[in-house]
């Protein structure tokens, strides 16, 4: 009996449907808790009228950007919907379901991103206002910021779990195939939002720092800097909207991978247990959000980490209980699986419990490891700060060193988790399911993880509003500075955890890709040969190299896009200082809207090339070289992407917090040569940690899902009666031509700075 037949013929019993219904109710309960937290955040005071005016400008800019972005992406979603419908499927219902749930996944991802932006732009002024209070200012400000993230976190787990539950209820055995569309929609939108938001936020941030801090010697959020509003807008569309969508798609894609492999490995129980685990995660997320309280004199990061570990411990206990309660003690007790799986030694309950525990432990280790390399109180960041005494070059060199070193340790830890989960069973399909369950275990803490991530930009914005308004001074200003530094570290931590989920999900999807090829070969009478996928086969090795190269090219495109957009911001801010001398003495208000408009247009224009590369490169390799080289391509992309993402995120985080360290009075403090050196390091690190690095996470999953979706078509045109080398090469050449055209257009834009009239560069 083929694996495909097993999945298609799998029917859910009344009890099974009851379990899924309970999980769906839990998902809706998560949304209800999110609403309660939302009401609490919005009930807080908003400070002075000046603070509210600044916050309103940020709200308007962020909304305008995301509305324009969604209009731009709408046409793209329609095109992909049609292409998905055209791909092979077992029946019309599966084809319709896959395409419809692609749109639903995209809408959910966009909705969570928009919610993250909408609420964070309203919470920032409330955190700033809390810092002005006479008593409990620090604790209240931290609570508002963290519970803002809690709203987004509960919405993330609620929508992700509800979407997956709905598919399982409606499609049962066909659910994994339909869920491919759901995960693809979530991942694709998340990648575009991550790249676009990252370009916007870092263009504004770099431009504001280079002209404001370095050239005009004014503070980061000085209202005289025309880029300050755009900088605050960018924090929300990049870190809040982009990262919220990113973590949602991590959640959705990990569920997809688990459900695809679960039906083959554990039958109906394998389809349901991956829903039970994140259902438990809803409960632990609620606990994690509500127990996050800073004690008197305690660093905010310590309180947040404590809440994370409490949530992780509760998840570990409850998931272990669920595994031994729901799953049998031997594979013979599983129904709807093949005989070779039933012959597997070991206990499904024990394997599932250990796999989930591996994921939870991995999350905790990544949290500690990333915090060590990016925290202001840790040696790596302090060493980077110390190098500022000898100039910007040594700051950059030391930050790069921190990034490289941290990438190695993180990759080893993630690799150990993957290999540990793989060793749980001698059956390859069960081992791959274990890896997917490890991803589910890691994501039981996703509600707290999203809250940690959103905490960062909300705190950053709060400090910006306080500085621009001048209405928060003394101890209140110091509180906001401390929260901002904590937020820098929590953002870095969540990026590390996000890339870990990408590796686990991509490895599991790799198994799904392998399974899709076997199913397609069985239909056309072809034979699966392991040798075709061996690394020593030259064509497969070429695929490995291409996959690694695409990660480098994608990263380069993202960083170059920030460079171009930041250049345009620098010219505009310089122009305003030159043409309006009254800006510096405070008699003339800068034209903030012009910089917001520049960032918006450039970010949307730069979206296309990285996005097309992510979608078209697997198509070009798959149809051009075959399924073996495409497998190599995915392996190269996963390995290189893991190292590159961690390197970029942690080096950028170390530079950012080294700057904070100097601004807190170390090595000469603000205005010193050491401060200028760390500002340069920070501006280099900005596109590293907030654009290219985190964008690799959805990139890996988009490429894996594209490969899973096109695998049957590649096999159809390669083997049997429908084989056609001409059609394969035509599709590959079209995909390659699209990539080349996008690159050519991108390179033409890169010459715009060089062609800018010299007089616009004058600082006056």
Average pLDDT of every residue of the chain: 84
- Chain centroid to CA 374: 18
Report the share of the chain in percent with pLDDT over 70.
94
- For 676-704, what is the mean pLDDT? 87
Q: How far apart are CA 55 and CA 506, in angstroms?
A: 39
Mean pLDDT of 629-648: 92
Confidence of residue 758 (pLDDT cuts 50, 70, 90): very low
Q: Is-contact 388 678, C-beta < 8 A?
A: yes
Torsion of CA 224, 225, 226, 228, to 10 degrees: -110
DSSP annotation string for 205-234: HHHHIIIIIIIS---TT-TTSTTHHHHHHH
Cα distances (angstroms) measured from residue 494 to each of 59, 151, 224, 447, 716: 24, 16, 33, 11, 41
Q: Which of 703, 531, 743 minimizes the C-alpha distance to 618?
A: 703
Q: Tell whether the torsion through CA atoms of 23, 24, 26 and 30 is positive or negative.
A: positive
Per-domain boundaries in the chain: 3-761
| Nearest CA-CA partner of 351 in 317, 327, 385 | 327
Q: List pLDDT tens digits, range 436-449.
A: 899 889 888 888 88
pLDDT band, very low/low/confident/very high, at 752 (cuts 50, 70, 90): very low
For residues 441 and 629, what is the distance between their CA atoms, to the nearest angstrom? 31
Structure tokens at 588: 């003339």
Structure tokens at 463: 């400090």
- Of the listed ranges 240-244, 617-621, 724-728, the one predicted with least confidence: 240-244
Rounded alpha-carbon distances, angstroms, from residue 484 to 138, 153, 441, 658, 710: 12, 20, 29, 13, 44
Tokens, residue 474? 């003394």
Q: 169 Cβ partners below 8 Å, 6+ apart? A: 17, 20, 21, 24
- For residues 181 and 84, the answer to whether their CB atoms sit within 8 Å is yes
Residues 527, 652 contacting (CB under 8 angstroms): no
454 Cβ contact partners less than 8 Å away, ≥ 6 residues apart: 116, 120, 145, 148, 149, 152, 153, 239, 240, 243, 244
pLDDT digits (tens, 9 = 90+) for 392-414: 999 999 999 999 999 999 899 99
Least confident of 112-121, 287-296, 562-571: 287-296
Q: How confident is the model at residue 15 (pLDDT cuts 50, 70, 90)?
A: confident
462-466, 470-474, 647-651, 751-755: which has the highest mean pLDDT? 647-651
Rounded distance between C-alpha atoms, residue 303 and residue 26, angstroms: 27
Q: Assign 3-class secondary structure to 519-574.
A: HHHHHHCCCCCHHHHCCCCHHHHHHHHHHHHHHHHHHHHHHHHHHHHHHHHHHHHH
255-274 confidence digits (pLDDT tens): 878 887 888 788 778 888 88
Least Cα distance to 184 among 446, 512, 482 occurs for: 512
With H, G, I as helix, E, B as strand and everything else as coil, classify residue 249.
helix
**Rounded mean pLDDT of 131-153?**
84
What distance in Å separates the CA atoms of residue 487 and residue 497, rounded to the nearest whole number?
A: 15
Q: Please list, residue by residue across 42-69, b when 16 or more beta carbons sit within 10 angstroms of its beta carbon and e when fewer do.
A: eebeebbeebbebbebbbebbbbbbeeb
CA 124/CA 465 separation, integer angstroms: 8
pTM of the predicted structure, to 2 decimals: 0.83
């Amino acid at each position: 009996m083929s694996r495909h037949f097993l999945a298609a013929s799998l029917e859910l019993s009344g009890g099974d449907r009851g379990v899924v219904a309970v999980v769906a109710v839990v998902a809706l309960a998560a949304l209800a808790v999110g609403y309660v937290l939302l009401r609490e955040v919005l009930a807080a005071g908003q400070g002075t009228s000046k603070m509210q005016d600044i916050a309103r400008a940020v709200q308007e800019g962020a909304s305008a950007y995301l509305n324009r972005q969604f209009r731009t992406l709408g046409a793209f979603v329609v095109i992909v919907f049609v292409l998905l419908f055209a791909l092979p499927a077992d029946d019309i219902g599966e084809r319709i379901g896959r395409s419809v749930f692609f749109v639903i996944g995209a809408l959910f991802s966009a909705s969570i991103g928009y919610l993250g932006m909408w609420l964070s732009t309203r919470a920032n002024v409330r955190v700033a206002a809390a810092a002005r209070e006479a008593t409990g200012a620090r604790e209240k400000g931290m609570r508002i910021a963290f519970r803002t993230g809690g709203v987004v976190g509960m919405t993330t787990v609620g929508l992700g779990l509800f979407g997956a539950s709905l598919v399982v209820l409606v499609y049962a055995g066909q659910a994994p195939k339909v869920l491919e569309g759901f995960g693809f929609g979530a991942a694709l939108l998340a990648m575009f939002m991550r790249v676009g938001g990252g370009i916007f936020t870092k263009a504004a941030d770099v431009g504001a720092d280079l002209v404001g801090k370095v050239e005009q010697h004014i503070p980061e959020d000085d209202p005289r800097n025309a880029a300050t509003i755009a900088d605050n807008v960018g924090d929300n569309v990049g870190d809040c909207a982009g990262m919220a969508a990113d973590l949602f798609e991590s959640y959705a894609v990990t569920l997809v991978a688990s459900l695809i492999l679960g039906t083959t490995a554990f039958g109906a129980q394998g389809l349901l247990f991956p829903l039970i685990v994140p259902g438990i995660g809803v409960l632990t997320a609620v606990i994690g959000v509500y127990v996050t309280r800073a004690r008197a004199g305690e660093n905010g990061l310590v309180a947040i980490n404590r809440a994370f570990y409490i949530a992780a411990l509760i998840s570990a206990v409850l998931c272990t209980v669920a595994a031994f309660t729901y799953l049998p003690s031997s594979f013979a007790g599983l129904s709807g699986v093949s005989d070779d799986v039933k012959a597997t030694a070991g206990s499904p309950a024990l394997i599932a419990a250990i796999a989930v525990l591996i994921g939870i432990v991995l999350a905790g280790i990544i949290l500690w490891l990333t915090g060590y390399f990016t925290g202001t109180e840790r040696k790596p960041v302090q060493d980077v700060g110390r190098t500022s005494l000898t100039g910007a070059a040594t700051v950059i060199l030391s930050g790069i060193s921190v990034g490289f070193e941290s990438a190695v340790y993180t990759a080893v830890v993630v690799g150990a988790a993957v290999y540990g989960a793989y060793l749980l069973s001698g059956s390859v399909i069960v081992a791959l399911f274990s890896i997917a369950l490890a991803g589910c275990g890691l994501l039981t803490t996703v509600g707290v993880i999203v809250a940690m991530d959103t905490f960062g930009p909300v705190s950053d914005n709060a400090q910006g509003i306080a500085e621009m308004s001048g209405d928060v001074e003394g101890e209140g200003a110091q509180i906001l500075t401390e929260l901002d530094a904590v937020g820098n570290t929590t953002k870095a931590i969540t990026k590390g955890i996000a890339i870990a989920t990408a590796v686990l999900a991509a490895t599991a999807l790799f198994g799904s890709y392998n399974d899709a090829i076997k199913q397609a070969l069985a239909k056309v009478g072809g034979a699966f040969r392991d040798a075709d996928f061996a690394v020593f086969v030259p064509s497969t090795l070429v695929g490995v190299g291409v996959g690694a190269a695409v990660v480098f090219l994608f990263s380069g495109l993202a960083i170059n896009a920030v460079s171009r957009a930041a250049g345009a911001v620098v010219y505009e801010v310089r122009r305003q200082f030159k043409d309006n001398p009254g800006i510096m003495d405070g008699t003339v208000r800068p034209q903030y809207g012009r910089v917001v408009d520049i960032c918006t247009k450039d970010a949307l224009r730069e979206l296309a090339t990285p996005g097309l590369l992510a979608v078209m490169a697997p198509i070009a390799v798959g149809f051009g070289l075959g399924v073996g080289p495409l497998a190599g391509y995915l392996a190269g992309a996963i390995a290189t992407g893991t190292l590159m993402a961690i390197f970029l995120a942690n080096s950028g985080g170390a530079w950012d917090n080294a700057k904070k360290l100097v601004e807190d009075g170390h090595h000469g403090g603000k205005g010193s040569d050491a401060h200028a050196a760390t500002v340069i390091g920070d501006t280099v690190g900005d596109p590293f940690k907030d654009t290219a690095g985190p964008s690799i996470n959805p990139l890996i999953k988009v490429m894996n899902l594209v490969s899973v979706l096109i695998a049957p078509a590649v096999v159809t045109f390669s083997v049997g009666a429908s084989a056609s080398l001409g059609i394969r090469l035509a599709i590959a050449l079209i995909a390659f031509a699209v990539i080349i055209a996008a690159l050519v257009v991108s390179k033409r834009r890169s010459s715009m700075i060089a062609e800018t009239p010299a007089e616009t560069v004058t600082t006056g």
